[in-house]
Amino acid sequence: MQIYRTSSEFEEQLLKLKDKMSGLKKQVATKTDETVFSMAVAHRKEMDDLYDGLFHLKQQIEEVRLDQEAQVREKYHHPKDQVSAI
């Protein structure tokens, strides 16, 4: 433990300590901002990937639905020339 001989020595060291603490606070704030930004970018990419996957699934479901409708039409469609008159 350092003993200060004068109050001016103490005040000088106190100011240095305050400056150092201020610098550390700025570093922590900057690192926090960088971390939050990186996480936001990562989450945005994940959301975009999920949206793309959902969009492709929706397209595939629509294709299957249209195929099924076409199959039903083919199965139950009777052209007029094949229908016998009653």
pLDDT per position as a tens digit, 19-75: 999 999 999 999 999 999 999 999 999 999 999 999 999 999 999 999 999 999 888
What is the distance between the alpha carbons of residues 49 and 44, in angstroms, rounded to a whole number? 9
* pTM value surpassing 0.85: no
What is the distance between the alpha carbons of residues 51 and 43, in angstroms, rounded to a whole number? 12
Alpha-carbon distance values, 80 to 23, 59, 76, 83 (Å) = 87, 34, 13, 5
Task: Give the three-class secondary structure for 77.
Answer: coil
What is the distance between the alpha carbons of residues 14 and 23, in angstroms, rounded to a whole number? 14
Q: At residue 5, what are phi and psi to the nearest 5 degrees?
A: -80, -30
